[in-house]
């Protein structure tokens, strides 16, 4: 994060801070024998602005060499780059912009390249669901960024065990053996595996606790509105829910020394994985299925609520007795296809009926069929666990998408 913050400062934030709070804007008459109230307030403002300022010697990675062309605005603000207040605000924007970019790029790519859009015809797919998922994600993002920022500030101020160069840890491993010289890389591998096991185990329990009815109703329920999620649901959380599930990633660098580039890479992979397990793909029967928590497992979590809480692996679910293996017959695509067939038949029938009854009022192009009855879907069998936790009212709310003849043709073509 320190390098990311320096780059953000060099390319944009130095100018923004200099524009909003130019250096020297607080004129303090330090030489005056009797300082005025204005002087005292200005001095207070200055000390707040410079809170935590220790200079380039203490934080070399946060500052640009004075000879660099990027250093022009470095000292142009009242708030130096290593001011705690400035870092809180700047890192909020860095976190927000980063998650915004990642969400839109990866979710869009996954939605168009991987997500099977026939799932949008599943009986439990909400009306305008993608728009609702995006709206909730957009609403959650600033809150999640704000909650995460103190961890990022701690990281750039060097309070974690993150280290800069590969050789700093493990260099002495394998001394005097044929593997001498590979110790640092072995430590990198060890820290990577530990990172994954620790965060996966913690997220399993945090996610499982979020399903305790008291917490579920208040925090986790918005993410389970999507029984058949799309990649756009990956950040569609209550902000505190999303934050709670990210805590292990922020805690582990305080417990285990990790190379900071490895940590950054893993953090990106985690974000990618979170989006990818929401692509609804029920690929099953592959040899890793029993160990890796894939999109198939997470699809089942969204459908059945009390299984497959894990993030990357299935070990914690197996230990906690909540593992549910993906099976061909559990694939939601079957209900989606069945519903497409049913809608097609009803649509044709209904359209003829409408034309018979209101022939005079309808033009040839008015063939849109509205509102199929949601009660037809009550046999789809996904109520169980959610209903136990939260009453049946919410679950029984079903939305069937309106379809037009163009839609129907499209369905036929895709089949
Ligand atoms: Zn859940
Ligand atoms: Zn999910």
Q: How confident is the model at residue 30 (pLDDT cuts 50, 70, 90)?
A: low
pLDDT over 70 for what percent of the chain? 80
Indicate which ligand has the atom closest to the C-alpha of 386: 1
Name the residue with higher pLDDT: 55 or 285.
55
Distance 305 CA to ligand 1 centre (A): 6
Residues 6+ apart with CB under 8 A from 288: 294
Residues 6+ apart with CB under 8 A from 27: 42
pLDDT at 202 over 70: yes
Distance 298 CA to ligand 2 centre (A): 6
Residues 6+ apart with CB under 8 A from 313: 196, 197, 200, 291, 292, 293
Nearest to 355 by CA among 405, 410, 407: 405
Contact between residue 344 and residue 359 where contact means Cβ atoms under 8 Å apart: no
Indicate which ligand has the atom closest to the C-alpha of 278: 2
Say what the pLDDT of residue 352 is. Answer: 52
Secondary structure (3-state) at 310:
coil
Distance 220 CA to ligand 1 centre (A): 7
CA distance 3 to 7: 6
- Name the β-bridge partners of 163: 259
Helix (H) or strand (E) holding 239: helix 239-255
The arithmetic mean of pLDDT across residues 291-316, rounded, is 90
Tokens 């590979």, located at residue: 182
pLDDT over 90 for what percent of the chain? 39
CA distance 280 to 72: 49
Task: Give how far Cα 341 sits from Cα of 196, 354, 402, Å.
Answer: 43, 20, 14
Distance 236 CA to ligand 2 centre (A): 8
Distance 400 CA to ligand 1 centre (A): 24
CA distance 341 to 350: 14
- Name the β-bridge partners of 403: 369
Contact between residue 80 and residue 50 where contact means Cβ atoms under 8 Å apart: yes
pLDDT at 359 over 70: no
Nearest to 244 by CA among 294, 309, 296, 305: 309
- Name the β-bridge partners of 259: 163
Say what the pLDDT of residue 408 is. Answer: 42
Distance 119 CA to ligand 2 centre (A): 16
Kindly report the average pLDDT of the chain as a whole number.
Answer: 80
Distance 45 CA to ligand 1 centre (A): 45
Say what the pLDDT of residue 363 is. Answer: 42
Residue 44, token pair as written in the block:
């207070």
Indicate which ligand has the atom closest to the C-alpha of 297: 2
Indicate which ligand has the atom closest to the C-alpha of 241: 1
Q: How confident is the model at residue 220 (pLDDT cuts 50, 70, 90)?
A: very high
Q: How confident is the model at residue 306 (pLDDT cuts 50, 70, 90)?
A: confident
Distance 235 CA to ligand 1 centre (A): 13
- Name the β-bridge partners of 22: 77
CA distance 200 to 270: 10
Residue 43, token pair as written in the block:
């001095």
Say what the pLDDT of residue 33 is. Answer: 65
Distance 49 CA to ligand 2 centre (A): 41
Say what the pLDDT of residue 258 is. Answer: 95
Distance 50 CA to ligand 1 centre (A): 43
Q: Measure the CA angle with vertex 17, ends 80 and 6; round to 5°.
A: 60
Distance 223 CA to ligand 2 centre (A): 6
Distance 293 CA to ligand 1 centre (A): 14
Say what the pLDDT of residue 65 is. Answer: 86
Phi, then psi, of 163 in degrees rounded to 5: -125, 160
Distance 110 CA to ligand 2 centre (A): 15
Contact between residue 297 and residue 247 where contact means Cβ atoms under 8 Å apart: no
Nearest to 122 by CA among 344, 391, 332, 286: 332
Q: How confident is the model at residue 44 (pLDDT cuts 50, 70, 90)?
A: confident
Indicate which ligand has the atom closest to the C-alpha of 221: 1
Distance 222 CA to ligand 2 centre (A): 10
Indicate which ligand has the atom closest to the C-alpha of 237: 2
Q: How confident is the model at residue 27 (pLDDT cuts 50, 70, 90)?
A: low
Q: How confident is the model at residue 123 (pLDDT cuts 50, 70, 90)?
A: confident
Half-sphere exposure for 358 (CA within 13 Å, toward CB): 9
Indicate which ligand has the atom closest to the C-alpha of 244: 1
CA distance 411 to 403: 10
Distance 250 CA to ligand 1 centre (A): 21
Distance 224 CA to ligand 1 centre (A): 6
Least confident piece of the model among 17-31, 85-99, 147-161, 230-244: 17-31
Number of H helices, E strands in the chain: 15, 0
Distance 201 CA to ligand 1 centre (A): 15
pTM of the model: 0.76
17: exposed, middle or buried (Cβ count in 10 Å: 0-12, 13-18, 19+): buried
pLDDT at 162 over 80: yes
Distance 328 CA to ligand 2 centre (A): 20
Distance 278 CA to ligand 2 centre (A): 6
Secondary structure (3-state) at 73:
coil
Distance 377 CA to ligand 1 centre (A): 23
Task: Give how far Cα 200 sits from Cα of 153, 197, 220, 314, Å.
Answer: 24, 5, 18, 9
CA distance 288 to 296: 12
Indicate which ligand has the atom closest to the C-alpha of 209: 1
Q: How confident is the model at residue 403 (pLDDT cuts 50, 70, 90)?
A: very low
Distance 74 CA to ligand 1 centre (A): 45
Query: What angle do helix axes 260-276 and 239-255 make, rounded to 10 degrees?
Result: 150
Max avg pLDDT among 84-93, 262-271, 284-293: 84-93
Nearest to 262 by CA among 193, 317, 198, 327: 193
Secondary structure (3-state) at 72:
coil
Distance 337 CA to ligand 1 centre (A): 26
Indicate which ligand has the atom closest to the C-alpha of 274: 2
């Amino acid at each position: 994060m320190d390098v990311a913050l320096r780059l953000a400062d060099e390319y944009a934030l130095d100018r923004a801070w200099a524009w909003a709070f130019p250096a020297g804007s607080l004129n303090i008459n330090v030489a005056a024998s009797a300082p005025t109230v204005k002087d005292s307030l200005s001095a207070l403002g200055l000390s707040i602005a410079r809170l935590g300022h220790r200079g380039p010697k203490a934080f070399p990675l946060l500052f640009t060499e004075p000879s660099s062309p990027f250093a022009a605005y470095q000292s142009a603000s009242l708030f130096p780059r290593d001011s705690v207040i400035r870092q809180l605000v700047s890192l909020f924007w860095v976190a927000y912009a980063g998650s915004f970019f990642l969400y839109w790029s990866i979710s869009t790519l996954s939605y168009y390249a991987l997500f099977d859009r026939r799932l949008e015809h599943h009986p439990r797919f909400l009306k305008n669901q993608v728009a609702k998922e995006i709206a909730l994600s957009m609403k959650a993002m600033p809150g999640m960024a704000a909650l995460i920022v103190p961890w990022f500030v701690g990281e750039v101020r060097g309070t974690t065990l993150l280290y800069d160069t590969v050789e700093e840890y493990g260099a002495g491993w394998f001394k005097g053996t044929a593997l001498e010289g590979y110790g640092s890389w072995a430590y990198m591998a060890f820290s990577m595996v530990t990172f994954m096991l620790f965060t996966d185990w913690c997220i399993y329990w945090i996610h499982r606790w979020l399903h305790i009815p008291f917490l579920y109703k208040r925090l986790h329920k918005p993410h389970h509105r999507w029984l058949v999620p799309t990649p756009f649901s990956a950040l569609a959380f209550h902000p505190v829910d999303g934050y709670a599930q990210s805590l292990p990633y922020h805690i582990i660098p305080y417990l285990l020394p990790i190379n900071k580039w490895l940590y950054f890479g893993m953090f990106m992979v985690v974000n990618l994985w979170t989006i990818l397990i929401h692509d609804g793909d029920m690929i099953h029967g592959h040899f890793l299925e029993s160990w890796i928590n894939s999109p198939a497992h997470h699809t089942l979590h969204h459908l059945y609520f009390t299984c497959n809480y894990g993030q990357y692996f299935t070990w914690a679910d197996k230990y906690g007795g909540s593992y549910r293996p993906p099976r061909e017959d559990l694939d939601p695509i079957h209900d989606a296809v069945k519903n497409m067939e049913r809608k097609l038949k009803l649509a044709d029938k209904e359209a003829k009926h409408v034309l018979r009854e209101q022939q005079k009022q309808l033009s040839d192009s008015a063939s849109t069929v509205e509102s199929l009855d949601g009660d037809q879907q009550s046999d789809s069998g996904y109520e169980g666990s959610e209903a136990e936790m939260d009453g049946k009212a919410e679950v029984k709310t079903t939305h069937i998408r309106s379809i037009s003849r163009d839609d129907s043709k499209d369905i036929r073509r895709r089949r």
